[in-house]
Structure 1
């Protein structure tokens, strides 16, 4: 199959080009009009497939539930927003619940369902700082432990690729170093680390910061905290692009402080994503989705996640946070791929990589998504 457009996102810029797809891969990237195309998308933008490395659920399904029909729905509908690959993300829970979730997610990954590809698992918690645990219950917090993590990884079938933890509680950075040695990306999050502690965590292998500004020690002129470290470092940094978790002007400041590089757009979405405004049951408690799509614990102002779609997040970055379209697209494709070590297969429109491709109009509506070369939107 050959598709083409006058605006194809290649090497960080838009050019006229056509893409030849064969055997789930990008076979060639050719000059526009060189061969007769099967699909001509005119002025619509052709961009790399989006990768969401931090999402807890959608369409009524949570990563903890383990119901095959639920995750099938999740996988099949993510391409509607341009997501071609993702890391289902566990929530901080009692150890037994996490083990159950990891087992079910491993089984789901092995099923190779049609839709967005499960690249592995993001383990968020239970290795948190108690004060910065966010909307999570205090009894789920555990100190970082190599032995506990080995148990989690064994149950997951070695599919954990990314872990969020409060590294200031990781004695001698033992778990951090163990994870890095085993090619697992470590992200500092739900953390009360002082600036120097955060910098030391980076020196010992931390390569990312989880949902920047949220559930971490903030920036103060006498104690820069985790936020100061993430703004000054050369690591990756997640950002929830819904405009509610982080004000668009602050997103703009963060992109500028980091020279627009290594920013990773995430949704941090919950099971209520795609279900609309209302009250829902999530992990034994009620959450409310407001008219802006933000999830809060019912009756409180505590944010408990989002219902964001990645394509809407890109729109917010560009139109409200004043980030360039090129850098916004990189934050949803190449940088998340690099973060989890998937950039040899995904994240760019390059010959030999997986044919994960999205077609968007100028209002960021997804017109078509190709997952491994197959059209997902009929």
Structure 2
């Protein structure tokens, strides 16, 4: 079902363009940026709105009380929830589950894609996180881990557009699987793994191209046994990280920022995102939101309540400029998926725009030029 777009709008303020900040106007026709006008500026010199490319979250399980494994309506709810926090594109992320449950979830996501909400973040496809992970490094994943086969992967890819898959590379046959997925255009991240540094490096050579929630649910760094974290810090161009300042210590985040050129933010958010403290679902499991986090009954961190606007502010508190932080929420995840018409405010790109005030709070969100959140701060052209 085609989604309507605004025929023509103009947005004014401090524009973050690929060539730097401009004070001027962004002109939009039929959902795409037609022109960018303005003079170079330091946004710190004025209080006009800051216009950034829409945020892109490649790892989001839920939000607004809904979990992606629950079906079509739940996917709509999570997409409608996260757009309020500046996310304009996302990957609906599945959990480790029984084979029939994974297949059912993928079918439901496809149903949503055939009739998407018009007031929601764009769902780009699926991040399949599990079940092809190490049963010894489940984290908050249920105990349904298994080894991948090409035959089964073909069946799953026929059900939904799987854009990204998390695998444990050390499992038998997964080197071949990584090569196969890479040839099919599916991005492979290493995660929920007990793999060694050497197995991580080998997986990258086979076509893996990233790491899932860096530092979490993987073998850590030791100076004589550098582990999967060491492989990422030494060799990765891309890796995702949860910058809620709970999953990863600020010092470790700073180390990763120095080592991995295109480290990018994800929320790994659960149904509890955007909701009050209480009990929620994460796949088949119950989790509790309290004290700013989400945990299983045994205290294990189980995803997050992070939203992308808070991820942006957290990066800035760690010393990144607003432009640098924006790249890690928009440009780098777009590049990771090979998408060149989102994640940037440039002529021809989709008009996905997050407008912030001087304190980096959300003012409005546009998707394909449509105002889906907040109030328009400029009249239509």
Question: TM (normalized to structure 2)?
Answer: 0.91
Aligned counterparts of 1:304 and 1:76: Cα–Cα separation in 2? 22
The secondary structure found in structure 2 opposite 1:303 is coil
Answer whether contact 2:142 2:285 (CA < 8 A) is retained. no
C-alpha contact 1:4 1:32 (8 A) present in aligned 2: no
* Contact in 2 for aligned 1:255/1:323 (Cα 8 Å): no
| Equivalent position of 2:240 in the other structure | 238
Residue 52 (structure 1) aligned to one of 51, 57, 62? 57
CA distance in 2, matches of 1:295, 1:151: 33
Contact 1:218 1:225 in 2 (8 A): yes
Per mean C-alpha deviation after superposition, the further-off stretch among 172-181 and 325-334 is: 172-181
Q: Higher mean Cα deviation, 7-16 or 302-311?
A: 7-16
Q: Distance in 2 between matches of 1:245 and 1:172?
A: 27
Deviation at 1:280, TM superposition (A): 2.7
User: Which string of whole-angstrom CA distances, capped at 9 and with x for unpartnered residues, describes residues 271-302 of structure 1?
Assistant: 1111121223444433111121x11002x221
The answer to whether the Cα contact below 8 Å between 2:72 and 2:109 also exists between their aligned partners in 1 is no
Match of 1:323 in 2: 320
Q: Show structure 1 runs of 4+ deviating over 4 A.
A: none
Contact 2:11 2:25 in 1 (8 A): yes
User: 1:36 — aligned with what?
Assistant: none
Residue aligned with 1:250, SS: helix
- After TM superposition, give the deviation of residue 353 of structure 1 in Å: 0.8
Tell me the equivalent position of 1:252.
Answer: 254
Compute the TM-score of the two structures, normalised by the length of structure 1. Answer: 0.91
* 8 Å contact from structure 1 (residues 162, 187) kept in 2: yes
More displaced, 205-214 or 225-234?
A: 225-234
Is the counterpart of residue 13 in structure 1 residue 9 in structure 2? no
Q: Who is 1:176 aligned against? A: 178
Say yes or no: does 1:154 pair with 2:161: no
1:278 matches 2:268? no
CA distance in 2, matches of 1:143, 1:274: 34
Q: Partner of 1:304 in structure 2?
A: 302
**Matches of 2:300 and 2:333, distance apart in 1:** 27
- String of CA shifts for 1:3-32, please: whole Å, max 9, x gaps: 121x21112632223111001100111125
Mind listing any 5+ residue stretches in structure 1 that lack a counterpart?
A: 34-40
User: What is the deviation of 1:170?
Assistant: 4.9
Q: Deviation digits for residues 142-182 of structure 1, max 9, x if unmatched?
A: 112111111111122xx100000101215261111111111
SS of 2:113's partner is: helix
Offset of residue 361 of structure 1: 1.6
Aligned to 2:113: 109
Residue 365 (structure 1) aligns with: 361
Contact 2:22–2:38 (Cα < 8 Å) also in 1: no
**Separation of aligned partners in 2, 1:335 and 1:99:** 30
CA distance in 1, matches of 2:323, 2:330: 11
Report how far residue 234 of structure 1 moved. Answer: 3.5
Question: Which residue matches 2:82?
Answer: 78
Answer whether contact 1:127 1:142 (CA < 8 A) is retained: yes
Q: Is the 8 A contact 1:252 1:323 kept in 2?
A: no
Contact 1:125 1:165 in 2 (8 A): yes
Q: Structure 2 stretches of 5 or more lacking a match? A: 1-8, 41-45, 376-381
Q: Residue 89 of structure 1 aligns with which residue? A: 93
- Distance in 2 separating the partners of 1:283 and 1:79: 22
Query: What is the aligned residue count?
Result: 360
Match of 2:331 in 1: 334
Match of 2:43 in 1: none
Alignment partner of 2:139 out of 113, 130, 134: 134
> Do the aligned partners of 1:4 and 1:42 also contact (CA within 8 Å) in 2?
no
Counterparts of 1:297 and 1:206, CA distance in 2? 30
How far apart are residue 86 of structure 1 and its match?
0.4
- In the alignment, is the contact (CA less than 8 A) between 2:95 and 2:283 conserved in 1? no
